[in-house]
Structure 1
Amino acid sequence: MKNTILSLFLFLIFICCSKQNKNESLNDQIKNTKNNLDKKNNEIAIKYSTPIKGYNVSAKWLIRGKIESKFSKNFKGPAILTFENIKTKEIFWVIHPEFTIDIDKENLKHIIVVDDEFVKNESFTQVCKYVKPKFEKVGTSKEEEGFGYVYIPFFFQDVDFDDVDELILTYATTYEKGGSINKIFKKGADKNLEFSEMTNEPFTNFSGFYYGNPNADAYNYTTIDYKNKTISHHESSGDGGSREIIYEFKKTNNNPNYILFGKIDKNNFENSEIQKRTVFKYNDYGEIVSVDKIKQPTANARL
């Protein structure tokens, strides 16, 4: 039953991701998708050799093409990750939109590439060793320069200050200037075995969280200050423009957890000599109660 459900979800992913002609009927799209699935996107089973944060982890993966990067020859595609709790045997799952692994040499024979383009693959199973981030807390260190980028499709870390690890997915394609797309997920309630994406700010945008710090020359990156309970998003246009959004968290009498109470948005995209600063304040229910706007000269301003 579990395998049937996973296969159905993979089929749905492929339908959603396929680029179809708008003039095709729904039946034609389904027929063509089934044919493509049979010919090109045979399921690949991935098993991790050791438990990860108390879970036995496996994946069912569909290749959709090669990663568009001169630094990678890997393939990418959607996958369903399943996490079996070692103690309770409960199985949680999440859809990973853009997954990849380093395929073992003996398994490359199952993949056909013509003129550097992916054509199709046969099904195979691969056992992988999990590689965790080099630093215990991602997004807190600026010392990653020189270590080199190692793709990690997922890892666990507390990012909302509740001492419970969230699941963080890393997309296969990296930004040209360093950093990856990251999505944050929480484990569902007891009756919901799906990891749920966190869509409230600042968690809906965690671009460049993994390997996105300034030493990686990333234009966009996310950092966390666990001592001061802040999360910061950094953006750069490459021509002198920059933006920093700082999210501030605190506990209140009405909530035992840390909640968002302030946001400071600083940017000079329109004029490198003038910084616009917008300060938002929130109540205990996450509603904005005040907005203050300030303009001030930047360090680039002419004296």
Structure 2
Amino acid sequence: MSLAPSERAPATGPATDLATAPATGGPAGRAGHRRAGRTRPGRRRVLTRDSVPYLLIMPAVLGFAIFKAYPIAASFWISLTTGNGDASRFAGLANYRRLLNDPLFWTALKNTALILVVQVPLMLGLALLVALGLNSTKVWLRPLWRLGVFVPSLTGLVAAGVMFSVILNRDAGLLNWVLSLFGIDRVNWLGSSFWARVGVVLVITWHYTGYNAVMYLAGLQGIPKELYEAAMVDGAGPVRRFLSITLPQLRPILLLTVVLSTIGTLQLFDEPYVLTGGGPDNATLTVTMYLYNNGFKYFDFGYASALAYALALIVSVLGILQVRLMGERR
């Protein structure tokens, strides 16, 4: 029995398959393929917006790791060894025990401490006085004076040492010539233990006073003038304004300069090395010079590394104490 046209099964020939299949040749089909390609789990974007900051700091991190972190770690390992090269062997804390019983180390530490106690307060006090003078409106040609004060800090440390070795020369030095004009006997600046230390202090003070004065000057110019005007209305004099306004407002910069100057003096090397070579009679031998001698003259790298870590410990302790004593109290 034949079926009616409405009851016949649908045609399944080639024409019907082509008509019912989704079109893939047109733009819609290509877009569908692209969308499907983006969602494949194997294809992911390597560079994202969140990863850009890490890529930017990567050179600095690598530089720190290669030139700072690795040498610090390697130096600590070397401080636990004795001998040189292939002959080195693990010695534990022997270098640190040797350091505690080394009279020359304590001499170098005493010399460094004496220079520190005298030079840092003297230099920073002069720098503050210079900054107060340069900040005054009564001084003519202030930009020229500021430049002149800052120029010594641009001089190389070795060049400054050579220059002062000529100035402090006993027989032909400029300073002794000036003293002779006033009838004062010549001073053996570089041949006497006491005067050799004084000479080192003079060189450091000359070199860094201007640098610290510029920092203080920047701090003074940042103090609001309204504070001084209100204090003058209340009848405060110059000394009272300095103690009650200037010093408290300069506390952060004072702390910074004290810490940096302390660290720099504890690492003192160039000036005494050029001026006196550590003499006379080890009077100007500093911890850094003693470290240098052990490492690069006697090639005792283990002991030199132990000295470096001892110096780092001293610097850290003093820095923490200074921050605790001079930092703002909350």
TM-score (norm 2): 0.21
- Name the structure, 1 or 2, with higher relative contact order (CA <8 Å, separation 6+): 2
Q: Larger Cα Rg: Structure 1 or Structure 2?
A: 2
TM-score (norm 1): 0.23
Higher fraction of strand: 1
